[in-house]
Amino acid sequence: MSCNCSGGGAMLLRAFILVGLASVVTTIIYLTPVPNPYYASCDRPCHELAWPMICRYKMSIETYQAMSGACGQCPANATHCHAAQCVSGDMSARGVMTANRMLPGPTLKVCENDIVVVDVVNRAMGQAMGVHWGGQSQREFPYMDGVPQLTQCPINTHTTFQYKFRAVGAGTHLWAAAGSPRAAASVFGPLVVQQPDNRDPHRQLYDEDVHVLTMSALGKAVLVNGHSELQVAPLVRGRRYRLRLLHAGGAADSATDAEPGMPGVATGPVTLSVAGLPLTRALTLWPGERVDAVLSADQPPSSSAAFVLAVHAEGVKLADAVVTLPFKEVDKKPGVQAASTPAPDAPDVSVADVLEGAELESLVAMPEQLAKGEVDVRLYLPFDFVPGVGLRSDLRGPQPHNKAGKTRLPMGLPDTPWPRAVPRVCNISLSLPAAPLLTQPRDAEAYDGEGGVAVCRGLGRPATCPSHLHGREDHSCECAHVIKVPLGSTVELVLADQGGDHHKAHVFQLHGYSFWLVGRGAESRTPSTAQLERGSWEALAAADRQGGLLRRHLHRAVLKDTVAVPALGAVALRFVADNPGYWLLREQSFFQWPSGLGVILQVGEESDLPPIPADFPKCGSFVGPEFFLM
């Protein structure tokens, strides 16, 4: 007698498989950390297996009073200067726009892949704006980039706009108001996207990550975290500290107009130096740049009681800011050092008196497709400034005067909206359309009603494009300057300064992407960009082919989203155009928002974009029906 047990064996095998899978799932769930309900915010230790959190914030933007009653007896009592809702600034009473009555605004600290939800409430009368989230590609949802008239309608007074995006760009970033020069001068703050320790390439270099220092200017002083004098949490000797350094820009009082509350001069770079180190180093940051540095508190107890960080503004007469980093002695047995993670071996590097962020090298190699000599698309973008109507070629006057005889431009803000010089890229001044190109392309493309075109495409100047703001048709063209880039292509942008703006460097930011800085050429190269035909990308391309524009360095290029173009110099940037949308490349200074120094990169086709959210706000021009009043 025999029996067939094959059916029973198969059932037993299935049971073993199910039990095994259940065991694996149970083990994964057991080992996955449960979110700590006691975390007051998303500022928490990040873990690779932890679930992403939804991080909600509310920002109320309003015009506020610096040195208000909330400051108590500041500056006589220094502790009062740090009271809640006290904006001390340069210690003078002035009107200033703030977020949550803070300067800088609130620091957003999240973990990589968290969902960030921010309700922005505009309580500032007569100011419409958006909020741009630096360092975030908005790959899933380009409608959250925060550029008024390009990716969304402006947030009008007494309205709320909810931003929602995934925090994918790890590092130290800036969020900032966009579209309103006055708001952009003081409404900003840090956005820190943290990583799990095992994914942070710099984790072995530091022990503590607690210091975020935001540099800016207000009135007559340079500020760090909103104060001209700041003392941070004590340093423990023997420990290494990660300093997250950000230059948010801001605005200083102009030399000719120091009326409180009206920012007059956009700030340039700041230089940071540390006293108390055996070897003095200085670091230069341009507006919009961020750099993380490691400070080792390994000085012997007899050497110094504190490190002193001095922040000096270049090119503008402002009082320096001073940050004190005191030492804290810990009780330990003689000969026992404070616990510290050993640092990996580092190659010898040359020491420079002043170091710029663009001179650093990346720990991560540039993608192979970008490290080749040639790219799919190379765009030459010459920019310059030409005198405005009624201005001499030296750009210093004459200017409209107010009743006190001071140099004062219309509508309050110097440099806007009647600039001393007309900025141009490829002989075109950027003027954003009446409706967002991303969400209302048909409305944006419509005739602008002032004798010109609303949107112009390509590198050449359109035939029908008069300058309707500055009154001289041979000046430039004003339109929404769009340059189309194929989706998936490798791109190199070459930005070249052709002068006209007091021999100053200019800082550009690219939205939607980070780029590799592969080349930087100074004025000393021959021929100088100022000697080439103004606004001609063909002349730039010819000079580049002859090796007279800049040299490219494809090894260990630094990854950035903001770059300073040297005065009368050039830079080359590379990236892979894999993020469809309309992305702004613009000069970083707050007063350049409405004045035209930028271009729009259209990556891909409209069909490549995600669907427009339901009930997304719309805006545009209104022209009523033709009728006669009887």
- SS3 state of residue 402: coil
Closest CA to 89 of 308, 326, 291, 253: 253
Which residues, at least 6 apart from 464, have a Cβ–Cβ distance to it below 8 Å?
A: 452, 453
Structure tokens at 226: 């909103």
Distance CA 90, CA 102 (A): 14
One-letter amino acid for residue 488 of the chain:
G
Contact 529, 417 (CB under 8 A): no
DSSP one-letter code for 141 = -
One-letter amino acid for residue 582 of the chain:
Y
- Beta partners for 246? 214, 290
The mean pLDDT values, 10 residues at a time, for the chain of 630 residues are 58 79 73 52 88 94 93 92 92 93 95 96 94 93 94 95 94 92 90 93 90 91 91 88 91 53 56 62 84 83 74 81 82 48 39 52 82 91 76 37 36 40 85 91 74 75 60 64 95 90 83 92 62 78 85 86 89 95 86 72 94 91 67
| Structure-token match 């004590």, residue found | 234
Handedness of CA 471, 473, 475, 479 (dihedral sign): positive
Contact 226, 102 (CB under 8 A): yes
CA 520 from chain center: how many Å?
Answer: 20
Distance CA 561, CA 169 (A): 11
Residue 531's pLDDT is 66
CATH class for the domain made up of 38-196: mainly beta
Distance CA 461, CA 440 (A): 24
Distance CA 628, CA 630 (A): 6
CA 228 from chain center: how many Å?
Answer: 23
Q: Is domain 368-389+418-627 annotated with CATH 3.50.30.60? A: no
pLDDT tens digits along 332-376: 544 444 444 444 443 333 333 445 655 667 777 888 899 888 999
Distance CA 476, CA 500 (A): 14
Residue 7's pLDDT is 62
Closest CA to 153 of 417, 453, 444, 429: 444
Question: What are the structural domain ranges in the chain?
Answer: 38-196, 201-330+343-357, 368-389+418-627
Distance CA 248, CA 177 (A): 11
- SS3 state of residue 442: helix
Structure tokens at 557: 């290029």
What backbone phi and psi angles, to 5 degrees, belong to 238? 95, -10
Q: Fold identical between 38-196 and 201-330+343-357?
A: yes
DSSP one-letter code for 400 = -
Parallel/antiparallel/unpaired status of strands 108-111 and 188-194: parallel
CATH class for the domain made up of 201-330+343-357: mainly beta
Residue 279's pLDDT is 46
Structure tokens at 4: 């067939």
Distance CA 295, CA 206 (A): 8
Which residues, at least 6 apart from 192, have a Cβ–Cβ distance to it below 8 Å?
A: 107, 108, 109, 110, 171, 172, 173, 212, 244
Residue 491's pLDDT is 96
